Amino acid sequence: MGDIESPDSTRTRKAAFLALLPSKDFVTSRKGQLLIAEVALSFITFVCFVASKAAAFVTAPLIEFLMALFLLFAYSTKINERFKGFHWPLMDFLRCVSASIIYFIISIIAVSKYTDGASKAAGVFGFIATIFFALDFYLIFNDLANFLKQGGESTEDPPADNDSDSDSD
């Protein structure tokens, strides 16, 4: 007999595959779009460096690709809400700061030192990735600053105005 799958096993596999994909709500959010752009640009930069004479820089885009892919998965499946031991925004902030600095440096080197087209393309995509990572760390920094101004409260409601100058107690 041939290997004919039952409709239930096909549905189970399809449901398992769909569970790995990010939710529509997350993909349409600002953070989701930034992470998708970071994943895509890191992968393109990685491929360009692999094909270029500047292959020594291949590790940085690969690591950034894997880290952005992990955070995309973690945020979209809400794993970050289950592991409260990590301060996820701070971890994400440090990842974005280091990625933007590293991408900027290796992009300058790739564009100025190497003459092949793949190195130039890797440098250009690296500069674009630098912009996306810098935008991401700027937005995370603003969120962290607002969080700290509220005294570390995790509520979404704005704090009451306790800064009045009247001493009418």
Say whether pLDDT at 151 is over 80.
Answer: no
User: Which three-class secondary structure state does DSSP give residue 19?
Assistant: helix
pLDDT digits (tens, 9 = 90+) for 41-64: 999 999 999 999 988 899 999 999
Runs of H (alpha helix) within 21-169: 24-28, 30-50, 59-76, 79-82, 88-113, 117-149
Structure confidence at residue 158 (pLDDT): 46
Given a cut of 60, whether residue 39 has pLDDT beyond it is yes
Cα torsion angle, 69, 75, 76, 82, sign = positive
Kindly report each contact of residues 102-106 with a partner whose C-beta sits within 8 Å and lies 24 or more positions away, as own/partner.
102/60, 102/64, 103/45, 103/60, 103/61, 103/64, 103/127, 103/129, 103/130, 103/133, 104/130, 106/54, 106/57, 106/60
pLDDT reported for residue 6? 64
pLDDT band per the 50, 70, 90 thresholds, residue 152: low
Give residue 159's pLDDT band: very low, low, confident or very high (50, 70, 90).
very low
Q: Is the dihedral of CA 91, 96, 97, 101 positive or negative?
A: positive
Share of the chain above pLDDT 90, in %: 50
pLDDT at 163 over 70: no
Which has more confidence, 144 or 44?
44
pLDDT at 157: 46
Mean pLDDT value of segment 77-90: 81
**75's tokens:** 């945020």
- The burial class, CB within 10 Å (0-12 / 13-18 / 19+), for 140 is buried
pLDDT of residue 164 exceeding 50: no
What is the pLDDT at residue 133? 96
